[in-house]
Amino acid sequence: MAEPATNLSRLRENIPTLLILAALAATPMIALGLGDPFIVKVATRVVVFAIAAVALNFVVGYGGLVSLCHAGFFGIGGYVVGILAWHDFNAEPLWFLPGTSDLAIALPAAILVSAIIATIVGAISLRTSGPYFLMITLAFNQMFYYGAIALQKYGGDDGLQIMSTITLGPLDVSNRYRFFYLALAVLAITLLLVGRFVDSRFGMVLRAASKNETRVIAVGVDPWLYRLAAFVISAVLTAVAGALLAAGQQFISPVDMGWDRSGDLVVMAVLGGVGVVWGPAIGAAAFVVLELVLSSWTTHWQFVFGLLIVLIVVSLRGGLADLGRTIFSRGSEEATHG
Amino acid sequence: MADVILLVDRLMKSFGGLRATNDLSLEVLRGECHAIIGPNGAGKTTFISQLQGMLAPDSGTITLNGADITGEPAHRRARLGIARSFQITSLVPDFSVLDHAALAVQARLGHSFRFWKNARRDPALVAPAQEAVETVGLASRAKTLARDLSHGEARQLELAIAIAQQPKLLLLDEPMAGMGRKDGVAMTELLARLKKDYSIILIEHDMQAVFSLADRISVLVAGHIIKTGAPEVIRTDPDVRAAYLGH
Ligand SMILES: Nc1ncnc2c1ncn2[C@@H]1O[C@H](COP(=O)(O)OP(=O)(O)OP(=O)(O)O)[C@@H](O)[C@H]1O
Ligand SMILES: [Mg+2]
């Protein structure tokens, strides 16, 4: 109960998060050292999917709600950025609004649009639970997917190329390295936010309700509105990740929001570990890198990939985070028992 | 007329053809410990569930402190002051003992749309939660996860959660169910202390406990209360003996 001890344990709780961020922050240096800018491209992809997987895990791991429409929100974020940039480039107003290539405007726009859509989708989906929730969110994902294909003006199923230069306020972020650090900052913020949320009063309600709804109701809380709020927060953060993907690769397409991509996000979360906030970030990194390495080795990579994931999830029941936790809790157990 | 905290009027509840609650009327006085006894399957838990709001009655009314709460959902009844301990322990496996009590405290303190402050380090939650945990004698197990508790400890935690809600009316559904002799005695002593501070509806099969704790006893048979009275009256009542105590 002594103050120094709690400060120490607080620090220890944050070590994995800080290590992940530090390791990622070092990748551009490695890329420069090796003279291989492709590494930064991969690292940016890792960071973007880490944001989405951490955000998704807020509802999956802590809310017990396995959503299969998060790729939809990811794509919505991407298309908001893409469409605003299209109108900026073509100097054609969107209804009465001018287009923009400034993320300082496009990101808040993506947040607003995704929040509105997520509120509607959540309010409908959360009337169900378990496999029905899975099915209805999957159906919504397909709606978004075909909705994107129907956007003929913005490329339809070919996707939407961003022709203008993306900025953040006065800052030009079309530079690959600069953009990477922007994305990394968003990941840091996401980890901080979700980390605070899950341990707050809100988080306690969300977690308790995922394991035993009857108990939560019996003490006087209707979990419904809390789940909806968590769903919207999670969707918005995922949309921000999608917005960053579109801005970073100057391209967004319906492929980025297919239902299989929703499944990928769930796999990243489970692979990394749904029990800790930073787990899915590790999962995203492992997923993106494995996909890349395996697909260059063999054409049957998806089979090997699936097999590897099954092996990891079965042998480490808490996902890859279990590896990290074993390493970090070694020290703390010695401290308490010693 | 004495001060009535709970008034149940002609409550009815059927499961298919089975009348689990059959024209049930009951008055609970403020500060009273009112025991409900009856054979297995008499409809005791079904009745408690309707008081708590988890089950909706087919007809009849429930009045708490003069207000009709028949249509209120369970979570709002909890806020109005009804706390229930479950016959079959209902806990969150990966929450500690203290977490459970703290959850009840935060529910009582208003909405939980608080996103930033760490709930486990919030003295406004931890202090009252700790107190409830101490009251039931679980202080040494405060940090233990629910899944690691013994059966007796889990029963104690059920009670700690209910106390942390600071209810006006405690619904205790067989708080000693499945407990050994020793734990049962400890629980009876605990309930004897709690009885001073709360109005209680107590369902219990342990007759020794019931007769030592209850101010009044109602006998429930096939969903209907056949008799209400002081313990000594119930003990000697021929109808009750025939229907229940006899066997
Ligand atoms: N959800 C339900 N659906 C159908 N029948 C039910 C349901 N719940 C209870 N019953 C039936 O209603 C009757 C009363 O059950 P209840 O659990 O209320 O009895 P009880 O008095 O609490 O018994 P015990 O002493 O065993 O706890 C029983 O016959 C039971 O099988
Ligand atoms: Mg029962």
B69 to chain A, any CB pair closer than 8 A? The answer is no
**pLDDT tens across B126-138, in order?**
999 999 999 999 9
Range name among A19-33, A197-211, A317-331, B181-195 with the lowest pLDDT average: A317-331
* CA angle, residues B200, B204, B209, in degrees to nearest 5: 85
Q: Looking at the domain covering B4-245, what would its CATH class be?
A: alpha beta
Ligand 1 pocket: which of B19, B24, B44 to mutate (most atoms within 8 A of CB): B44
The continuous run of DSSP H or E covering B216 comes out as: strand B216-221
Q: Is B71 in the pocket of ligand 1 (CB under 6 A)?
A: no
B90 to chain A, any CB pair closer than 8 A? The answer is yes
State how far the Cα of A276 lies from the Cα of A221, in Å rounded to an integer.
25
What's the mean pLDDT in B157-183? 94
Q: How confident is the model at residue A317 (pLDDT cuts 50, 70, 90)?
A: confident
Number of Cβ within 10 Å of residue B20's Cβ equals 22
Q: How confident is the model at residue B97 (pLDDT cuts 50, 70, 90)?
A: very high
**pLDDT tens across B153-163, in order?**
999 999 999 99
What's the mean pLDDT in B206-210? 92
State whether A200 and B93 contact (CB < 8 Å).
no
Residue B115 has its nearest CB partner, among A200, A218, A219, at A200
Q: Which two tokens stand for residue B130?
A: 């700790």
Query: Above 50 in pLDDT, residue B19?
Result: yes
B147 to chain A, any CB pair closer than 8 A? The answer is no
Closest CA to A279 of A7, A58, A28, A9: A58
Residue A330 has what pLDDT? 56
* Domain map (residue ranges) of chain B: 4-245
The Cα of B112 is separated from the nearest Cα of chain A by a number of Å equal to 5
Summary mean pLDDT of chain B: 95
Q: How confident is the model at residue A322 (pLDDT cuts 50, 70, 90)?
A: confident
Give the nearest ligand 1 atom to B16 CA: 4
Is the reported ipTM for this assembly greater than 0.85?
yes
Query: Above 60 in pLDDT, residue A3?
Result: no
A169 secondary structure, DSSP code: T
State how far the Cα of A225 lies from the Cα of A206, in Å rounded to an integer.
10
Closest CA to B92 of A181, A197, A205, A235: A205
Strand order in the sheet with B216-221: B82-85, B169-173, B199-203, B33-37, B216-221, B224-229
Cα torsion angle, B138, B142, B143, B148, sign: positive
Give the nearest ligand 1 atom to B43 CA: 18
Q: Are A159 and A255 in contact, with CB atoms under 8 Å apart?
A: yes
Taking the centre of ligand 2 as the mean of its atom positions, its distance from the CA of residue B43, in whole angstroms, is: 7
Taking the centre of ligand 2 as the mean of its atom positions, its distance from the CA of residue B201, in whole angstroms, is: 13
Taking the centre of ligand 1 as the mean of its atom positions, its distance from the CA of residue B44, in whole angstroms, is: 8
Residue B98 has what pLDDT? 98
* Residue A179 neighbours by CB under 8 Å, 6+ apart: A44, A166, A173, A247, A248
B245 secondary structure, DSSP code: I
Q: pTM of the full predicted structure?
A: 0.94
Residue A8 has what pLDDT? 79
The Cα of A197 is separated from the nearest Cα of chain B by a number of Å equal to 5
Q: How confident is the model at residue A334 (pLDDT cuts 50, 70, 90)?
A: very low
Residue corresponding to tokens 């009849």: B60
**pLDDT tens across A42-63, in order?**
999 999 999 999 999 999 999 9
* Domain map (residue ranges) of chain A: 25-254
* Residue B183 neighbours by CB under 8 Å, 6+ apart: B152, B155, B176
* Residue B137 neighbours by CB under 8 Å, 6+ apart: B156, B186, B190
State how far the Cα of B242 lies from the Cα of B247, in Å rounded to an integer.
8
Q: How confident is the model at residue A133 (pLDDT cuts 50, 70, 90)?
A: very high
The nearest alpha carbon in chain A to B79 belongs to: A220
**pLDDT tens across A235-271, in order?**
999 999 999 999 999 999 999 999 999 999 999 999 9
What 3-state class would DSSP assign to B92?
A: coil
Residue A1 has what pLDDT? 42
Cα torsion angle, B138, B143, B146, B148, sign: negative
Ligand nearest to the CA of B38: 1
Query: Above 70 in pLDDT, residue B227?
Result: yes
Mutation target among B106, B108, B109 for the A interface, most CBs of A within 10 A: B106
Residue A338 has what pLDDT? 29
Query: Above 50 in pLDDT, residue A76?
Result: yes
What's the mean pLDDT in B87-91? 95
Residue A183 has what pLDDT? 98
* Residue B127 neighbours by CB under 8 Å, 6+ apart: none
B95 secondary structure, DSSP code: S
Query: Above 80 in pLDDT, residue A331?
Result: no
List CB contacts (< 8 A) between B119 and chain A: 199-201, 203-204
Q: Is B88 in the pocket of ligand 1 (CB under 6 A)?
A: no
Q: How confident is the model at residue A335 (pLDDT cuts 50, 70, 90)?
A: very low
Query: Above 50 in pLDDT, residue A181?
Result: yes
Q: Is B242 in the pocket of ligand 1 (CB under 6 A)?
A: no
Residue A328 has what pLDDT? 63
Residue A214 has its nearest CB partner, among B90, B99, B119, at B90
What 3-state class would DSSP assign to B240?
A: helix
Ligand 1 pocket: which of B11, B14, B15 to mutate (most atoms within 8 A of CB): B15
